[in-house]
Each structure stands twice: as structure tokens, then as C-alpha cells.
Chains A and B, each alone.
Chain A
Amino acid sequence: MDVPSHLQSEVKQLVSVHGRDRTALLPVLRGLNKSHSYLSEAAMLCVSKELGVPRAEVYGVATFYSFFSVEPRGKYVIRLCRTISCAMNGTYHPVVAALIEELGVAFGETTADGVFTLEQTACIGLCDQAPAMLVNDDVHVKLTKESVRAILGEYRRKAAAGEKVKSA
């Protein structure tokens, strides 16, 4: 499989920062996962070649960590905490319902416009501010169905603005 040149230079850049050996595998994958929301086949092949780590092993590592994905994901990955303190909070179920209704997808799915992927996560350490969720690296706490709608609207605007910049 041919690896696109922009991807090659991105991997080379990450390797120059993190090193050219197997200990650099995780930070390099993190970098790629962050910029593309997921780890594509081409990206993993490129990493395998650059670091001299067998492709199957790169794939094994990529599938081991739940914050990595080998399937395409949306620009914003929503991770709603499902651990006990969040799940027992009174607004948890309305929040779940609001997310599903607002996005029109179930957990594990990506919206048709490619903006959001909805996921669940184990405890993110925000039990005192339940229910909580992550959107990429941003933390959102004390969620209600109203706040969830507002938050999603915010990211939608950001995504739309980003697209305008791109097409301009």
C-alpha cells in the first residue's frame, strides 16, 4: 500500500521528536491519533517502517488502547463516563438520551457528517462533578440535557468554522 507523502512527513516529524526505536511507538501513535482521530492502515504501515516494529505489533498496540482507534472516527470524539458515580447521577440518563437524540447515533457510532463519534469511557476521575464527559481532550462536567445540547452546538460551530477556513 502506498503511503501518502503528507503522512510520511508527519510520521517522520513525530519520529524526529520521539526517537527512532520501539520505545517511541506509543508517543508516535498518540500524535497520529490526535491529528487524525484514528490510526489508518497507511499510518500504521508508515510507523512500522520508520520504527522497525512489525506491522502486526503496531496493530496490536493500536487495538489495545481504547483511546486509539483503527476505524475512522469523527473530528470530535465524545467519551461519556459510564462508571458508577456518573452512571448513578440523576441527570445521567437524560444526558445519554440527549446525546443520542441530538447526534442521531448510538454509542460506538459516528455522525454522518463526520463531526462526532459517540463513545463511553471508564472512570475519568471526575466523580465529584458527575456526570462527566470528554470531547477529545476537553473536560465537561456536571452535565445536564440542556448543557449537553449547548456543548454540542459549540463544537458544531467550531467544526463549521474550521471547514470554512479550509474551503476559503
Chain B
Amino acid sequence: MTAELITITIDGTALKVVPGTTVLDAARKVNIDIPTLCHHADLCSAALGKKVPAPSNCRMCLVEVEGQRALQASCATEINGPMNIKTSSPAIRHARQDILALMMSEHYGDCAACRRNGNCELQQLCAEYGVDTALFGRPEAPLYAMPDEDNIIQRDMNKCVICRRCLRTCELYQGVVALSPEGRGEHTDIATFMDREMMEAWCINCGQCINRCPTGALTERDDTAAVWAAIEDPDKLVVIQTAPAPRAAIGECFGCEPGTPLTFEMNTALKKIGFDKVFDTNFSADLTIFEEGAELLGRLYKAVVLKDNSAALPQFTSCSPGWIKFIEHFYPEYLPNLSSAKSPQQMMGAVVKTYFAEKNGWDPSKIVSVSLMPCTAKKFEAARPEMDASGHRDIDYVLTTRELARMIKQAGIDLPKLEKSDFDNPFGTPTGSGVIFGATGGVMEAALRTVLEVVTGEKIETLFDKADILPVRGFEGVRMAQVTIGKVGPVPAIFSHLVPDFEWLKGVTVKVGLAHGTANAIRVMQDIKEGGPLSQCHFIEFMACPGGCLGGGGQPIPTNLEIRTARAKAIYGEDAAYKVRKSHENEDVLRIYREFFKEGPCSHKSHELLHTHYKERV
């Protein structure tokens, strides 16, 4: 039954709405902009597909409703009968000005130096409403202690407007609940358990809170100064790898529409900035597919043929460091299910300081390995003590998309206008299978393209048109797909040390699962615990961030579904355009197995350099 529409009037315009629509949503439908600091496109009932209470914390969205004595918060006012609404009046403007001035009276910080200067919702509203600090003043000293500089997630309460977007994101998308309101009324703050530093909290460093913070209260640790210093140091050889997701998003920092890929312009910029080599993380993404795929084959063989129950299935992907810390905190009993393969970032780091250094006669101790990631959790991953099997840190510094955008601007470079240039050898072949790692479902799609071709000996295109494995794509929070293996081929030499033949896979239906946003990961883990359909999967891809890496916590601000969809389109567009679209056809990867990891994937040497281990966190 469809409810009857209600006719309302907003600023003189009549429109029909579904009962229960908020005044805010109704106004936005007719392009009337009501300012909000706590409401966010990702945090409303429509985006979450379930009824969530309106935050109504910031009070910026006040409107006049005819017949109501006081101004009403439009985000929390539902339309259940005819209404006459005004969104602009002297009373509304004065109220908003006072609210902003009061926020500023508790807002300590140097606007000019703030990371969000020019991209701050509070600053923009203050400008629009002509708010000055004459009435209520500004704090002359910090009201809160500054966060420790080592925190990856920097949380400065001095700039917080208590909108609660951070903790709602943390709960609704991530299911982590690292943050909570502390205290009550005017004494309310946002705090971790026991008001500790973020690095001591049960936080997975995903940075989703940063992407939705309206002000500069949440930022990531700034590593640009250290990277500049390395570049300026004549004694250092500075290499950078770039992950797929930042390329599809960095243009947003330079005024481009979301979904403008600037992969090759960025290569030029990085060289101009002074990086000695620019490598493509697609290389190590493809390397990951070999290692993780070989591991999966080994586990399946153990389970199916050897009937050995010690093979933990389903195998979980291990590329997303937010997901890794999540499972270490919340589901440590499932750590054996995680692939032991390092993430592409760490694999690249490991081979740059070994294989590449040897090949080119570079002293690994003089190499500074930098990575450009869409991710704040990658900073944590790079700093894990165990990530130094070569005797050197795999990765020295991680830059987020936002940090690199700042560096490019500091260098006076107008990124979108640059000419294009290629990546450097020997890790320079852009591949479709690598680039789709940036979207939810991408790791799975790349894995399936390779595993199915390797096992069946037939082109994947016979199963999926243009090698596009559409069942694993999309933004549905939890997805499942399956493929039955009809025929099998001979075992290629590179995998021959793992299994004698593929006969045992004949007729097997390979089941895979996907989840993005750790709140969805919780759904999967609960289903597995209860022996549901996902427990029957062989391989499950987990991405900590909504949308996968393209929605990562280090990506340009703002974020919403529309922006993430545009970035995904750019990523799949790149995939379709590349000559090499399958990991096992990446000549750079095949070469490293010929020249360096001669015993093949999941062998002794690859285990030493390309695999890792995990630990329970309490």
C-alpha cells in the first residue's frame, strides 16, 4: 500500500511528499539548501536503508513552520500533514548566526594553518552568514590538550563542534564504536574509552570519521614533512608507489569532477616533485593475486583432497589494513582464516628493497620507500614491527591522497594540466586486475580472472563477457557469487609445486563472498559463526571502507555515494582500457618469479618476504 502524498509549501513552492519525509529532505528535493553540520548524506535513513534517528545536534537547519512557536530543526521534523515552511527569514538567519558564533566561541585553532582551510563546513557557513567573533569571542588558549603527534587519527577536540558524525560513522558503517559522547549537556565531549589517545583506543584507523568531519577536528598524521626531507636529502633514493584508488580521486582536490582519473598526470607530477622512481601498486596487487591465489589453492587441496581440517576456510583477504586490525580486535578466533599474504603496499616495499635494489645496484639502506594510498590505516600497517623481513622497513612513509595533493600544490603544480607519463620499470605495467583492487569486489574479480583461467585452461571471456565479472561488482554491503568449474586444464609450471593436478576441482562450485564497511564484515562474521551461507564460501573479500579503497579514509573530502560511484566508474573505466587485465598476464610479475622468487608463489623465499602473521589485540 502506498501512503497518500502530502502537499506542503516550502518558501512559497508547493510540493508533494511521502509522509514521514523530513523537512530537510523535502527542501533539498526542490533545491533549497538548508545548512547542516551534523546531518550527512551517508548518515541518513535513505543512505543506510533503515530508519535512523536524526541527529539534530548542530541546530543549523532551523526553519519556521507555520503554527509552531519556536524554530524547528528541519532534519528532525517529519512531514505528516500539510505544512507551510519558511527556510529563510530574519529570525532564522539570526539564530544561525548566533549558533555559529557560539561554536566559534569554543573553537580554538589557527584557521589559516588548518588542514581543512578552504574545505571546512564551519568556515564556509561562517563566511556565508557573516559571522564574526565580536559577540562571543574566541578562545585565546586551547580548551583541550592537543593529541599526541604519533596518533594516525589526529583528533583535536578544540575544533570539534560535537556534531557526532564521527561516532555515528564509526558505529553505523564500521561497527567499531571507538568513540562515544562523554559527559552530558554543555560538558559533552567526544571521547574514546577512558578518554585515551586514539592510538590506544579500539580503533581500526580506517579514517572514515575524518572523511565526514565538518571541521578540522579529525585529520590524519601529516607525514609530508618527512617525505619532503627525504626528497631533499641527496643521499637518499626516494621511490613512490601509487595505489589505484587515489588516481581516481585526487582530481577532486584540483577542482575536477569526481571520477576524473589522473593516473599518468600524477606520474609526471611525482617526478617533478623529485621522486626518483614511480612504481605502480598494480604490480604488487597482481603479485598478491599469485600469492593469495596459490595459498587458496593449497588450502582447498588440503581440505578437499587430503581431508585435512587444519586448512582454515573460507580464506579471508588481507589487503585492507583496517579490516586486519578489525579482525585482530573483534574476531581473533578467525585469524587463521586470513590469507598470510602481505598487502600490495607491503609486498611492493619488500621487493623494492630486495629484488629491485639488487637488480639496480642500489643500497637498500639508502632507499626511502613511500606509498600513496587512499588509506589512513596503511600508515599503521607500514609501522607494524614485523614488516621488515628484508632487514629494512618495507615501507618508510605512507601518504594519503590528501597529503599528496597538498605536496603537489606546494610544488606549484596544476595537476590536471600536466602531460602524461608512464610508470617506471620494472614495476610499471598498469593492469586492469590491479587497478580494480581500488573498488569493493575488485580483489575478488582479479582473483577469479586468474584462478579460473589457470584452473580451466580456458579464457575467462568464455564465462564472463569481456572478462567483466559483474556478479562481484556493485555497492551492496554483503554479496555472494559462485562459479562452477566445468573442465580443468593442466597445472601451469608456476603452480606445479603446490598441487599435482586440478582433477579434484572438476565440477566444484567455487563460492565467494564480499563485504565492505566493517559493519558489513560483522554481518558476514556472524553468519559464518552461525553456519550460514557465507560459512560455505571458499574465499571472502573484506574491505574496511564503504565502497572499498575508493571510499578510503585518506581520500578527498567530502564523500557520499554519488562521489564513490563516480570514482568506481573511473576505476572500471581504466580496467577496461588497459591492455593487460589479468594478474597472470602481468609480465613484470612473471619476470620476478623467473628471476627472484624462483621457487614460485608460497615458496620459502616468498613466505619470508611476501607473507606475514597476525595477532590478537586486547
Does chain A bind chain B?
Answer: yes
Could you tell me which A residues sit within 8 Å of B by CB distance?
1, 41, 44, 54-60, 63-66, 70
Q: Are B182 and A59 in contact (CB under 8 A)?
A: yes
Q: Are B183 and A59 in contact (CB under 8 A)?
A: no
The listed residue (A44, A54, A64) touching B183 by CB distance below 8 A is: A64
Q: Are B177 and A54 in contact (CB under 8 A)?
A: yes
The list of the 4 closest CB pairs from A to B, nearest first, reads A60-B180, A54-B177, A56-B180, A55-B193
Q: How far is the CB of A54 from chain B (nearest CB, A)?
A: 4
Q: Mark B188-218, 1 if CB is under 8 A from A, else 0.
A: 0001111100000110000000000000000
Chain A residues with CB under 8 A of B191: 56, 59-60, 63
C-alpha gap A64/B181 in the complex (Å):
8
Q: Are B181 and A60 in contact (CB under 8 A)?
A: yes
Q: Are A63 and B193 in contact (CB under 8 A)?
A: no
Q: How far is the CB of B486 from chain A (nearest CB, A)?
A: 45
Q: Are A70 and B181 in contact (CB under 8 A)?
A: no
Q: How far is the CB of A38 from chain B (nearest CB, A)?
A: 13
C-alpha gap A63/B184 in the complex (Å):
8
Q: Are B180 and A57 in contact (CB under 8 A)?
A: yes
Size range of the interface on B?
Answer: 10 to 19
Interface centre among B182, B183, B191 (most CB of A within 10 A): B182
Q: Are A56 and B183 in contact (CB under 8 A)?
A: no
How many A-B residue pairs have C-beta atoms within 8 angstroms? Tell me: 42
Q: Are B193 and A56 in contact (CB under 8 A)?
A: yes
Q: Are B177 and A57 in contact (CB under 8 A)?
A: yes
Chain B residues with CB under 8 A of A59: 180, 182, 191-195
Chain A residues with CB under 8 A of B195: 59
Q: Are A63 and B201 in contact (CB under 8 A)?
A: no
- Supposing A55-B202, A56-B201, A56-B202 touch, asked if A41 and B194 sit within 8 A by C-beta, the answer is yes
Q: Is B389 an interface residue (CB 8 A)?
A: no
Contact residues of B between 156 and 184, Cβ < 8 Å to A: 176-184
Q: How far is the CB of A159 from chain B (nearest CB, A)?
A: 29
- Supposing A55-B202, A56-B201, A56-B202 touch, asked if A44 and B193 sit within 8 A by C-beta, the answer is yes
Q: Are A56 and B179 in contact (CB under 8 A)?
A: yes
Q: Are B192 and A63 in contact (CB under 8 A)?
A: no
Q: How far is the CB of B160 from chain A (nearest CB, A)?
A: 15
What are 22 pairs between A and B in contact, CB < 8 Å?
A54-B176, A54-B180, A54-B202, A55-B193, A55-B202, A56-B178, A56-B179, A56-B192, A56-B193, A56-B201, A56-B202, A57-B177, A59-B180, A59-B191, A59-B192, A59-B193, A59-B194, A63-B182, A63-B183, A64-B183, A64-B184, A66-B184
Q: Are B194 and A70 in contact (CB under 8 A)?
A: yes
C-alpha gap A64/B193 in the complex (Å):
13
Chain B residues with CB under 8 A of A65: 184
Give the nearest-CB partner of A66 in chain B. Answer: B184
Interface centre among B181, B184, B193 (most CB of A within 10 A): B193
Chain B residues with CB under 8 A of A60: 180-182, 191
C-alpha gap A64/B179 in the complex (Å):
14
Q: How far is the CB of B275 from chain A (nearest CB, A)?
A: 40
Chain B residues with CB under 8 A of A1: 618
Chain A residues with CB under 8 A of B193: 44, 55-56, 58-59
Q: How far is the CB of B149 from chain A (nearest CB, A)?
A: 23
Starting from the known contacts A1-B618, A59-B193, 7 additional A-B residue pairs (CB-CB under 8 Å) come to: A54-B180, A54-B202, A56-B201, A56-B202, A60-B180, A63-B191, A70-B194
Q: How far is the CB of A83 from chain B (nearest CB, A)?
A: 16
Give the nearest-CB partner of A53 in chain B. Answer: B177
Q: How far is the CB of B328 from chain A (nearest CB, A)?
A: 16
Give the nearest-CB partner of B180 in chain A. Answer: A60
Q: How far is the CB of A14 from chain B (nearest CB, A)?
A: 20
C-alpha gap A59/B202 in the complex (Å):
13
Q: Are B177 and A56 in contact (CB under 8 A)?
A: yes
C-alpha gap A55/B182 in the complex (Å):
12
Interface centre among B177, B178, B179, B180 (most CB of A within 10 A): B180
C-alpha gap A67/B195 in the complex (Å):
19
C-alpha gap A44/B181 in the complex (Å):
16
